[in-house]
Amino acid sequence: MPVISTNLAANSALRYLEINSTAQSDSLAKLSSGSRITSAKDDASGLAIATTMSSDIAVLTQASTNVQNGTAVLNTADGALSNISEILQRMKSLTAQAQSGTASTDDLSYIDAEYQQLLEEVDDISGSANFNGVKLLDGSDSYSASAGVAFLVGTDSTDTLSIHLDGADATTLGISGTSVTSASAAATAMADLDTAISTISEARANVGALQSRFTYRGDVIDTSLENLEAAKSAISDVDLAAEQTNFVNAQTLTSAAIAALGQANSMNQSLLKLLQ
C-alpha cells in the first residue's frame, strides 16, 4: 500500500545499510590488524585460549633467555676451572722437579717461588670468576650453597634447573700452605695436588653434564615456542584471502543499501505527484 507518512522502504534499506556497514568495518579492522579476533564478541572462547597461549609464549621466551644465561654461567665456570686445572698440572710438575734429587737449596727456592705464585693465581682465578657480579667459584656466594641457583626453564614455577658450583680456591682444594722447599714437602704437596686435580676434574665433569642438560632444555623450549605460536596463529590470526572476500561482499552490499536508501527516500516525492 503506497503511503507517505511512513517510509517503510527507507527504514528497511537503512537497517540493512547499518548491518552491511558494520560487517564492512569489522572486516576492515581484521584486515588492518591481522587478527581474526578484534573484540571478545568475535570469538570469546578463542580469545580466552589465545590469551593463555600468549602468556605461555611470553614465559617460555623468558625461559629461553634463562637457559642462555645458565649456559653462559656454566661456560664461565668451566673456563675458570680449565685454567685452574692447567695451573695444578704445572704445580704438580714443579713438585716432581723439586724431588729430582739434584735440586740445590737455591734451586728449591726458585721452584717454590713459582709454586707460590701459581698457588696465589688459583685463588685469584677462583675469586674473580663471576657472572653479572656474582662470584661463581669462591665458595661463599649463592652458587656454592647446597641448593645452588635455580633457573626457571618452563611455564611452571617448579620447572627449574639448578646450578651448584663448589669452591675452587686453594683452601677448598686442600693445597693452601703447601710448598716445595724440600723434597719431603714436595712429596706431600704432590699428594695434595693429586686430590685437587681429581676435585677439579669432577667439578668440570659436573659442569659439562649441566651444560648438556641446559642445551637439550633449550631445544625443547624452542620447539614448544614454535608449536604454541603456530597454535595461537591458527586461533587468532586472520585468513587474509577469506577476510578480503568478506570485505568485498560487505562493501558491495553496503553500496547496494546506499543506493536502495536513495531510491526509497525519493519514493515519497514520486507519490506526491499523484496529487498534482
Domains of the chain: which residue ranges? 8-34+240-275, 55-235
How far, in Å, CA of 237 to CA of 101, rounded?
81
Mean pLDDT within 173-199? 95
pLDDT of residue 101: 82
* % of the chain surpassing 70 pLDDT: 94
Give the strand pairing for 149-152 and 130-131. Answer: unpaired
Angle formed at CA 86 by CA 81 and CA 89, multiple of 5 degrees: 125
pLDDT tens figures, 40-77: 777 888 888 888 999 999 999 999 999 999 999 999 99
Q: What is the pLDDT of residues 208-227, one digit of tens each?
A: 999 999 999 999 999 999 99
Read off φ and ψ for residue 207, nearest 5 degrees. -65, -45
Task: Give the pLDDT of residue 113.
Answer: 96
More confident residue, 16 or 118: 118
Number of Cβ within 10 Å of residue 148's Cβ equals 15
181 close to 108: Cβ distance less than 8 angstroms: yes
CATH number for 55-235: choose from 3.30.300.30, 2.60.40.420, 3.30.1450.10, 1.20.1330.10.
Answer: 1.20.1330.10
Give 228's contacts (C-beta < 8 A, 6+ positions apart).
Answer: 53, 56, 57, 60
